[in-house]
Amino acid sequence: MRLTTKGRYAVTAMLDLALHHAQEPIALADIARRQGISLSYLEQLFARLRKQGLVDSARGPGGGYRLGRPPAEISIANVIQAVDEKVDATRCGGKMNCQGEERCLTHDLWSGLSDQIHEFLDAISLAQLVEKRDGKNGAARQTGSIQFYPSAPDKMAKTKAALGL
């Protein structure tokens, strides 16, 4: 799991879409203007988001993009993975041909952590982020009260367990 500006742009754009969910399709040009991201870069990102089914597109005048499924069913991890093609984190692909005991050991530790991060981000949906701030007006950062991904209770349990709770 990697977390770069690319993923941040994608999440930001998807949040923008989620805020206009169930309305007319949103043109990328609007998102570009609102979020301060270049149109051409957005086009590149949305090509991938579309391939993953995270968004639907409509061409022509009045066209644009819509969320491919309800915001509650799109996790942050979904979005990031769609645009940030995964790099073989361990560099020994599934800890084979990984010579030396020490190496596999640290690689195991890292990939364990990496899994935790992934589960963490997979437990947060677009809907949650949006709902969260509907309660408080604009004070989204002070009080962090993020709920778990509701449509995947099994993952929630898993993440809770992972946190030792």
Partner DNA sequence: TCTATTGTTGATAAAATTAGTCAGGTATAG
Partner DNA sequence: CTATACCTGACTAATTTTATCAACAATAGA
- Return residues touching a copy of itself (CB under 8 A): 1-5, 8, 11-12, 15-16, 19, 33-36, 76, 87, 89, 91-92, 100, 102-113, 115-117, 119-121, 124, 129-130, 132-133, 138, 140-141, 144-148, 158, 160-165
Bridge partners, 68 (sequence order): none
Cβ count near 120 (within 10 Å)? 17
Binding region for DNA (CB under 7 A) out of 41-49, 111-119, 126-134, 148-156? 41-49
- What is the rounded distance in angstroms from the CA atom of residue 55 to the CA atom of residue 109? 35
- Under the binding rule (CB under 7 A), the answer on residue 115 touching DNA is no
Q: Convert 57-75 into a string of H (helix), E (strand) and C (coil).
A: EECCCCCEEEECCCHHHCE
CB closer to DNA out of 92 and 156: 92
CB closer to DNA out of 106 and 157: 106
